[in-house]
Amino acid sequence: MAQHEQRLAYVLLAPPLAIVFSLILFPVLWNFWLAFHEVRLLDLRRFSWWELEATLKNFTKIFTHHDFWPALKATLLYTTGGTLLALLMGLAAAMLVHGRFRGRGLIRGAFLIPYIAPVVAVAFAWRFILDPRGVLMTGLLGTGILDQPLHLLGERPWAMVSLIAFEGWRYFPFDFLFILARLQAIPDELYEAASVDGATPLEKFLYITLPQLKLVLATLLMLRFMWTFNKFDDVFLVTRGTGGTRVLTIKVYDFLIGEFNVGAGASMALILFAVLGVFLYLFLRLVMSRAEED
C-alpha cells in the first residue's frame, strides 16, 4: 500500500517536475556554462558549440565596458526607488481602504487593475500620456507651471523619475493586497485598549499598526526588490533604456538580440544573479538580526 502510494505520487508529480527541470533548472545550469564560453548564435546553429574552450572573455568584456558601472548604478536606483515607492503607495492605499465604508469592495478591486492589465498596453498608454506633446505636458504648460515641455521619457533625470513613478503605479496593488490582508488580521482589542489609554489615531498607527505590519513589509520589500532588480519588460517598454535608464537587464537583451552574443548575454545574466544574491544575503542578515532582537 505504502509503496503503491509512493509510485502514484511520483507519477502525478512527473509532468510538473519534468517541465520545471527542463525549462528552469537546466537553463540556470546551462547559463553558467554559456557565461564562460564565447558562444554566438551562429555557433549554436552549427552544432559545434561544445567544442569551444572555457574563457573569461565575456566577463572582461562586460566589466571593462564603459557602460557597466553606470548601468549598475541605474539598476540600483531604479530598483530601490521603484520598490520603495510601490511599498509606500501600497501602504497608503491599504490604510485608506481599511475599515468599513460603502463601495469598499469595488474600490479594492479597482486598485488591483494596474497590476492585472497587460504591461505592454499600460506602458504605451503612459508613453503617450507623458509625451512632450501629450496630455500631461499640455496641461502643465497651460497652467503656466512650465514654460518648456519636459522630455519625461528621454532626458536625465526625468526618464528615471518617470520609470520609478510607473513602477509605483503598476506594482503598488501587489503590496496593497498583502498589507490590507495583514491589516484586517490585527485584533481589534489592541486598538480598543489603546483608545482607553487615550492614544490618538497617529499614535495607534505608529505604535500598533506599523509594528504589526513589520514582517509583511519586510517580506514585500525583499520580494519586490528581487523582482524589480531583474525586471526587463517595464524598462524596455517605458523608456527603452534611454535618458539614464539603461539597466543591466537591458544589457542582457542588447548582447543577445543586438549582437547575437549568447555568451556575453549569459555572463550578464549571471552577474545579475550574483549581485542579487549578495543583496539578498545582506538583506536577510539585517532582517534576521532585527527579528532576533525583538
Range in contact with other proteins (rule: CB under 8 A) among 52-60, 74-82, 177-185, 286-294: 177-185
- By CB under 8 A, the residues from 120 to 159 that bind other proteins are 120-122, 124-126, 128-129, 133-135, 138-139, 142
Range in contact with other proteins (rule: CB under 8 A) among 39-47, 56-64, 67-75, 76-84: 39-47
Range in contact with other proteins (rule: CB under 8 A) among 54-62, 79-87, 192-200, 286-294: 192-200
Contact residue for other proteins among 107, 146, 282, 284 (CB under 8 A):
107
CA torsion, ordered 189, 194, 198, 201, to nearest 10 deg: -100
Cβ proximity of 244 and 74 under 8 Å: yes
Instruction: Using alpha carbons, select from 219, 153, 222 the residue that is nearest to residue 182.
Output: 219
Whichever of 19 and 286 has its CB closer to other proteins, that residue is 19
Residue 1 grid coordinates: 500500500
**Residue 191 DSSP label:** H
* 282 near other proteins (CB under 8 A): no
CB of 69 to other proteins, least distance (A): 20
Q: How far apart are CA 213 and CA 100, in angstroms?
A: 20
Whichever of 24 and 54 has its CB closer to other proteins, that residue is 24
* 111 near other proteins (CB under 8 A): yes
CA atoms within 13 A on the CB side of 95: 14
* 226 near other proteins (CB under 8 A): yes
Q: How far apart are CA 251 and CA 157, in angstroms?
A: 20
CB of 94 to other proteins, least distance (A): 11
* 233 near other proteins (CB under 8 A): yes
- By CB under 8 A, the residues from 252 to 271 that bind other proteins are 252, 256-257, 262, 265-266, 269-270
CB of 117 to other proteins, least distance (A): 5
Q: How far apart are CA 81 and CA 273, in angstroms?
A: 20
* 288 near other proteins (CB under 8 A): no
Whichever of 27 and 211 has its CB closer to other proteins, that residue is 27
Range in contact with other proteins (rule: CB under 8 A) among 51-59, 66-74, 76-84, 93-101: 93-101
**CA 276 remoteness from chain centre:** 12
Q: How far apart are CA 83 and CA 172, in angstroms?
A: 9
Cβ proximity of 127 and 238 under 8 Å: yes
∠ at Cα 245 (241, 250), nearest 5°? 45
CA torsion, ordered 53, 57, 62, 66, to nearest 10 deg: -160
CB of 236 to other proteins, least distance (A): 8
CB of 13 to other proteins, least distance (A): 5
Q: How far apart are CA 182 and CA 180, in angstroms?
A: 5
CB of 247 to other proteins, least distance (A): 10
Contact residue for other proteins among 30, 63, 69, 281 (CB under 8 A):
30
* 88 near other proteins (CB under 8 A): no
61, exposed or middle or buried, with CB in 10 Å at 0-12, 13-18, 19+?
middle
CB of 281 to other proteins, least distance (A): 14
CB of 128 to other proteins, least distance (A): 6
As beta bridge partners, residue 54 has 37
